[in-house]
Amino acid sequence: MRLNHSLSLLKEVRTRSTGTGIVAFGVGSAGCRILSYLHCSNVPIEKFLYVSYDEQDLSYSPIGEKILIKSDLHKMDSPSTIRGMAESCKDQIRKNLVDSKYVFIVSGLGGNTGSGLSPFLAKIAKESKAIVISIVAMPFNFEKSKHFFAGVTLRQIRKLSDAVIIIDNDSLLEKAPKEPMLDVYAFINKKISTAINKLMESPQGKDVRIGFKKFIETINREGYAILTVCETFEATEQAVIGASKSVHQIAELNQASSAILFVSSHIGASMEDVAASVSKISALFGNGSIEVHYGISKDDRQGLTAVLLTSGYKDTKFSDYDPIAKVLYNIESDEDFDISSRVELPKIYDLEKS
């Protein structure tokens, strides 16, 4: 399985078009896995970079540039510590962003690596004058210890990115709650990469594709974008309702201003199915004023998949993960201080002696 994946990647990289000016970073375990799947698809990304302080994360793809954050620590204490360690890699990162037009940063938030490096990379990419798109997977509801870092980081990258696509891990688990945890992570990462591929991939054959330009126009708006996926053996409209319910658990549907619906099935969606589904989205989102684009493809897999991307949300449930934002409401704070390396502070009793 691993060998076949590597061979397909090597074959794909020989035929990938160049000169698009699109760069993608996979950050940490989740980001590197998701990007490695995208690497063997037909998305119009020119340069793939994998970034982590853990060498194992960089092994998920046999090709692409690898940036290892070197550390003398046996245990990473916090995201800010990792940001400090990443300072030594700034020149290498900037070198890879020369002539970039779009920069994608793909990561899972909540862990030290994703939470530490995502805003760090977004800031460097923004300084390169590229359009910065962050794609972030939020931790499971039961992972309470990750919520604070995830919430704080989401706020940081919103300031540094032109668009942020949020994926709620809980919304992708309708078919795998009792599977082994490692299998669940692999399942989710593959599902995310497949959904992104369907939205970004160039038109081919008889498929009706969205295309990169329309994808960017949809997400490059005020607020957040939310990506949900629903797989079913029922009608197309039921899959759309399922994907819409997942969005409703994250944000208020009336805030949405634009949407993309992509439907794939082994028999192909009918015109009636697509028309009913688009009408359903128009009725559920944005108080009836939402702009809806759609794509269709045939799939070898049994059943039907609806990928729904909606944008324009000013607030999500993940705002509650970040109590600092509530305390500092409407107050601008300087957050650059936390990217520096470790500083040993004197202990309280030492201060008392001085």
pLDDT in tens, 318-328: 999 988 766 66
Cα separation, 60 vs 12, in Å, equals 16
Average pLDDT along the chain? 84
Q: What is the spatial distance between Cα 187 and Cα 190, in angstroms, rounded to a whole number? A: 5
Confidence of residue 214 (pLDDT cuts 50, 70, 90): very high
Rg (C-alpha) for the chain, rounded Å, is: 21
Per-residue pLDDT for 199 more than 60?
yes
Residue given tokens 């999500």 in the structure block: 316
pLDDT digits 0-9 by tens, 50-104: 999 899 999 998 889 999 998 765 555 688 888 989 999 999 999 999 999 999 9
CB 35 within 8 A of CB 63: no
Residues counted in the chain:
354
- 34-48, 156-170, 203-217, 265-279: which has the highest mean pLDDT? 156-170
Contact residues for 267 (Cβ-Cβ < 8 A; gap 6+): 298
pLDDT higher than 90, residue 236: no
More confident position, 342 or 232: 232
Domain 1-161 = CATH 3.40.50.1440: yes
Cβ-contact 322, 151 below 8 angstroms: yes
Which is higher by pLDDT, 292 or 335? 292
pLDDT of residue 350: 45
Max Cα separation, the chain? Answer: 80
Please report the pLDDT score of residue 307 as a whole number: 95
The residues that bridge with 304 in the sheet, in sequence order, are 232, 265
pLDDT for the residue numbered 328: 60
Query: What does pTM read for this prediction?
Result: 0.87
Tell me the helices (H) and strands (E) count for the chain, helix number first. 13, 10
CA distance 29 to 82: 14
Lowest mean pLDDT among 138-147, 217-226, 328-337: 328-337
Query: Is residue 86 within 8 Å of residue 80, measured between CB atoms?
Result: no
Q: What is the C-alpha to C-alpha distance for residues 48 and 62, in angstroms, rounded to an integer? A: 11
Residues 6+ apart with CB under 8 A from 291: 257, 258, 259
E-strand ranges in the chain read: 22-27, 47-52, 65-68, 102-108, 131-138, 163-168, 224-232, 258-265, 291-298, 304-313
Could you give the CA distance from residue 71 to residue 181 in angstroms, rounded to a whole number? 28
Q: Provide the pLDDT for residue 337.
A: 42
pLDDT tens, position by position, 258-311: 999 999 887 767 788 889 999 999 999 998 889 999 998 887 777 889 999 999
Q: Where are the domains of the chain?
A: 1-161
Alpha carbons 25 and 48: distance in angstroms, whole number = 6
Q: Tell me, what amino acid is at 127?
A: E
* Beta pairing partners, 108: 137
**3 state SS of 276:** helix
Residue matched to tokens 């798109």:
133
Lowest mean pLDDT among 40-49, 116-125, 329-338: 329-338
pLDDT digits (tens, 9 = 90+) for 219-230: 988 899 999 999
Confidence bin at 203 (pLDDT 50/70/90): low
User: Do the Cβ atoms of 50 and 75 come closer than 8 Å?
Assistant: no
- Whether residue 106 contacts residue 34, with contact meaning beta carbons closer than 8 Å, is answered with yes
